[in-house]
Amino acid sequence: VQPASLVLTGTGFRGDSEAAGSSFSSSATNYPLVQLMRIDSGQTFFPLSDPEANWSDTTFSSETIGTITPIPAGHYGITVYTNAIPSLQKIVYIDLPECDPERLGGPMPGCDMSIGSTG
């Protein structure tokens, strides 16, 4: 399994409220945490946001997944948490393509995995 980036599209990645009581000591981050959980084993991964691509209210791009520890292909539930409030879970199949930029002579289209959701 080769490394790839995870790109999510949707809405509300910055949140519109917080799970705390909205007092002066609350600490809303408005930062999305993405959880990948394998359906068959419950194994969980939290990919970090790519600091170069950053994130917005509608998109999230992760750092390269699988660089240190490959994530096995399979069905995953993806949940986005913003201010401790979970999104609805989406079930997807993640298959990391075999892309070796050195072997291929540079980055190639299709070497990043993209998952889109409209609701």
How do residues 41-53 score in pLDDT, each as one tens digit?
999 989 888 888 8
pTM over 0.75: no
| Between 27 and 12, residue with greater pLDDT | 12
CB neighbour list of residue 96: distance below 8 Å, 6 or more residues apart? 1, 2, 3, 4, 65, 66, 70, 71, 73, 113
Q: Indicate whether 35 pLDDT > 90.
A: yes
The strand pairing partners of 35, in sequence order, are: 79
Q: Are 117 and 12 in contact (CB under 8 A)?
A: no
| Residue range 91-111: mean pLDDT, rounded | 60
In this prediction, residue 73 has a pLDDT band, given cuts at 50, 70 and 90, of confident
